[in-house]
Structure 1
Amino acid sequence: MRHRAFTAAIIAVVVSISTLVAVKAAGAAVATADGFASVDALGQNGTTGGAAGPTVTVTTAAQLADYAGRNTPFTILVQGRITFDDMITVVANKSIIGVGSTATIDGGGLQLGSTTRPGNNVIIRNLTFVNASDDSISVTNAAHHVWIDHNDLSNGYDGLLDIKRKSTFVTVSWNHFHHHSKSTLVGHSDSWTQDVGYLKVTYHHNYFDGTDQRHPRVRFGDPVHVYNNYYRDNPLYGIASTENAGVLVEANYFRNVAHPIHVGYDRSGPGRVVERGNIYENSGAPQTAGTVADPRQWYSYTLDNPATLPTTVPAGAGVGKI
């Protein structure tokens, strides 16, 4: 009897561990959005995604488009490689989460919201995006409360991650950007002044790994908070603040970045930048100008020692790590 009881106990422990591993592999590890995505505003208290609805697993583009476009909350687990062209529209109250470390969106991208169906309260985690025919992820059409976390983005056609057209309260965390030129844009264009007053975005613990530019490139957003990111071998520039954007750049690590921070870029007018506590290894001097609102007016945060980022960010960013 003792032997049977002991065996049953061992089996129970193994089952519990296996269940925990499976849950984490599905991207459902206990975690909540921080930064601007955590703010109580615009009728939404933080970013919860599809937590209020059922969980489904998808393996095809048709299934993904179906659940992503439904008008009720869903947690959508992506399993394996899904190949399609163009963009799938994601509407409000969705979590799209990769299973394990192999879930991939190949050839297409995700667009949060349309002009008639908003993409508010959306979470995208643990997915590899590759070979997008347009943007890999487009946060647009006044989407708010969006959390983009622990993804791998590379080899797209246009931007890997664009945030624009009155979108706001967005957090971009622990993503690996690589093998691409235009990484992440905030603000549609110099002439799209409707973005003024929106585009509140937090970037933290992202790995900008050899990408050329836009880490981010910001128009109008105020404030955009860029902290504890690791920049390595970015040949054009790190961050650009333009068109009166307000960007706070703090406690990041720049390695081999000749132009870590621009005030104004190309034909765009100058923005505002406050920088503090950054490390510039074999990198140029940052440009700064003006003042920027303190993000602590909206949320609290704790800075990591930037000297640790070349180790901790590559080890923690990307897929299979939540």
Structure 2
Amino acid sequence: MPQTGLVGWATQNGGTTGGGSAGATTVSTASALTSALNATGAAVIRVSGTINCSGMLRVRSNKTVLGNAGATIVGCGFTVNGDRNVIIRNLTFRNWSDDAINVESSATNIWIDHNTFSNGYDGTVDIKRGSDFVTVSWNRVYSHDKTMLLGHSDDNGSQDIGHLRVTYHHNWYDGSKQRNPRVRFGNPVHVYNNYYYNNAGYGVASTMSAGVLVEGNYFENVKDTYHLGEADSGPGSLVARNNHFVNSPAGQTGGSVAGIPYQYTLDSASSVKSIVTAGAGAGRISV
């Protein structure tokens, strides 16, 4: 069976528990959501219905944000800015005006799981400025361009080197154009068992001395599956193994990548399409 619990970098550094066993609070308005996310102390926040909002809502430490069936965030995004131990699951984000989820300023131990993203302005999940120990799993992205950026600029190595360790697994990059992900500095970054479909730009880019392991993914109708360097960013390292290609070429590899320190189960690449399309996105887990 595919692994649907927490796997990857967010299990390290003491693990990621979010609000843990704290009592749940249900919110259904923008003001209630904003207050709950920004409150101090551990909390489990259940989101109900469609919430229309604007800007970026700050999520403080020790929070689990969990969507009830059909929960949708329209017009705004979440930012985890220097906080730690946050879980965001089972939400649909659309039409955000900045990023859908932004993780920055040395935020650590973040799990972003089983969400659906479409039609936003900038990134779906952007991780930057020394953040670390993050898992991005079982999400679906469609009708969107710039998907997942890891490391925001070429001149931020002093803060980013030794950090930006992220696992991307069982995500469905469903026609999302580029940055699936685009990586700077992080090593090792683990991209495994994702389904890439009709990505018009590219799948994975490793830049600025990053080390990316691209493992057991399914690429279908992807002209540029993975490569080294991107735009003005110099090349990183990329190791590819056990991937499956349908009307897609094997990409550019080079260099070496640090070892993966955690345990994980690798699904057969040829099975990833059926596994991911059956399980990725909001509404695919019991809440």
Question: What TM-score results when the alignment is normalised by the length of structure 1?
Answer: 0.86
State which structure, 1 or 2, has the greater radius of gyration over its C-alpha atoms: 1
Cross-structure match for 1:94: 63
Could you list the runs of 5+ residues in structure 2 that have no partner in the other structure? none
Q: Partners of 2:200 and 2:249 in 1: how far apart?
A: 12
In structure 2, what residue type is equivalent to 1:209? D
In structure 2, what residue type is equivalent to 1:240? A
Q: In structure 2, the residue corresponding to 1:280 is in which secondary structure? A: strand
Q: Over the residues paired in the alignment, what is the CA RMSD in angstroms?
A: 0.9
Cross-structure match for 2:76: 108
In structure 2, what residue type is equivalent to 1:319? A
Given candidates 36, 42, 56, the residue that maps to 1:73 is 42
Q: CA deviation at 1:205?
A: 0.3
Cross-structure match for 1:21: none
Q: Deviations over 1:262-290 (max 9, x none)?
A: 10011100000000000111112310010
Q: Deviations over 1:122-143 (max 9, x none)?
A: 0000000000000000011111
How is 1:13-28 mapped onto 2 (pairs within 5 angstroms)? none
Given candidates 101, 126, 151, the residue that maps to 2:115 is 151
Q: In structure 1, the residue corresponding to 2:84 is in which secondary structure? A: coil
Cross-structure match for 2:228: 263
Cross-structure match for 1:7: none
Q: In structure 1, the residue corresponding to 2:36 is in which secondary structure? A: helix
Cross-structure match for 2:189: 224
Cross-structure match for 1:142: 106
Q: In structure 2, the residue corresponding to 1:320 is in which secondary structure? A: coil
Conservation of the 8 A alpha-carbon contact between 1:33 and 1:46: no
Q: CA deviation at 1:52?
A: 4.1
Q: In structure 2, the residue corresponding to 1:63 is in which secondary structure? A: helix
Q: Partners of 2:5 and 2:22 in 1: how far apart?
A: 17
Q: Partners of 1:139 and 1:303 in 2: how far apart?
A: 26
Question: What TM-score results when the alignment is normalised by the length of structure 2?
Answer: 0.96
Q: In structure 2, the residue corresponding to 1:314 is in which secondary structure? A: helix
Q: Which has the higher contact order (CA 8 A, sep 6+)?
A: 2
Residue 33 (1) aligns with residue 24 (2) = no
Q: Partners of 2:250 and 2:138 in 1: how far apart?
A: 25
Q: Partners of 1:290 and 1:273 in 2: how far apart?
A: 6
Residue 82 (1) aligns with residue 51 (2) = yes
In structure 2, what residue type is equivalent to 1:277? N
Q: Deviations over 1:177-201 (max 9, x none)?
A: 1100001000011111111110000
Cross-structure match for 1:291: 256
In structure 1, what residue type is equivalent to 2:124? L
Q: CA deviation at 1:57?
A: 0.2
Cross-structure match for 2:162: 197
Cross-structure match for 2:275: 312
Cross-structure match for 1:15: none
- Percent sequence identity is 52
Given candidates 17, 21, 32, the residue that maps to 1:48 is 17
The runs of at least 4 consecutive aligned structure 1 residues that moved more than 6 Å come to none
